[in-house]
Structure 1
Amino acid sequence: MNLILWIAAGLLAVVALIGGITKTFIPKEKLAAQPGGEWTGQFGAGFVKTLGVLEILAAAGLILPAALDIAPVMVPVTAVCWVLLMIGAMITHGRLGQFKLSMLNLVYLALAAFVAWGRFGLEPFTG
């Protein structure tokens, strides 16, 4: 189970890192022109960049605390925060009628909930 939880956290970290880099370093106008990026038109550039930075921090929080054995409890805490972020993403995409993206966010939410559940109770890092 430990390996499965590591894989799930790693997949989420990759998704968070790609999303974070995209939102942080690609101009908002260019993001808004891409399919699925229409939501950025409803928010300011600072908000979009802040989300990007939070996603980069989430990528780090899903892996580094356990890998470095420094506050490994932060892995499931980060996973819970990712669940909250995905709820917001689902609501935003749902309001825009982007139901495929909402379903993708639901998959990420389920994966994050699995990591949180597994690391808080089933297979915690602490002995």
Structure 2
Amino acid sequence: MQLSYWIVAALLAALYLYAGGKKIVQSRERLRPMMGWVDDFPMPLVRVIGVLEVLGSAGLILPPLTAIAPWLAVAAAIGLVLVQVGGIAVHLRRGEARLIGFNVVLLVAAAAAAWLGTAWL
């Protein structure tokens, strides 16, 4: 179970670190080709989402790695599930149901990380 958690957590952490980092530092114009939804939200909110993704990324890895409050990894995984629920809602509201596949995969992976984390943390 531990190995499974680390594989899922590492993949999620890398993805969310990248995606969240882009949202934090790039302009709306640079984000638009990959994330058309940024036009629907104020940039401070896009930046907050990026910060939450980066914190979630760190939360998946650092607490179990350092054995300091390892339950935070489960909380981070649940938080990332909620990020994806929001992402799915935004895509559906924008009439982009065809784009939710990746969100669903990330939601399932984050839910798996939360479940795997409770199994051994």
Assess same fold via TM > 0.5: yes
Q: Given residue 117 of structure 1, which amino acid in structure 2 is its aligned partner?
A: W
Q: Identity of counterpart residues, as a percentage? A: 37
Aligned amino acid, residue 94 of structure 2 = L
> Superposed, which structure 2 residues align to 1:83-102 within 5 Å?
83-102=81-100
Of the structure 1 ranges 59-68 and 97-106, higher mean CA displacement relative to structure 2 is found in: 97-106
Say yes or no: does 1:81 pair with 2:61.
no
In the alignment, which residue of structure 1 is the partner of 2:61?
Answer: 63
Aligned pair count? Answer: 121
How far apart, in 2, do the equivalents of 1:98 and 1:18 lie?
A: 23
Q: Secondary structure at the match of 1:70?
A: coil
Task: Tell me which amino acid in the other structure corresponds to 2:27.
Answer: P
Q: CA-atom RMSD, angstroms?
A: 1.2
The 1-side partners of 2:72 and 2:48 are apart by: 20
Calculate the TM-score normalised by the size of structure 1. 0.89
Quick check: 2:60–2:76 contact (8 Å CA) kept in 1? yes
The corresponding residue for 1:19 is: 19
Deviations 1:43-74 (A, max 9, x none): 10100011111111111000000111110000
String of CA shifts for 1:67-93, please: whole Å, max 9, x gaps. Answer: 111100001111111111100001111
2:5: which partner in 1? Answer: 5
Runs ≥4 in structure 1, deviation > 3 angstroms? none
Query: 5+ residue gaps in structure 1?
Result: none
Contact persistence 2:4–2:116 (CA under 8 A) = no
Report the TM-score, using the length of structure 2 for normalisation.
Answer: 0.94
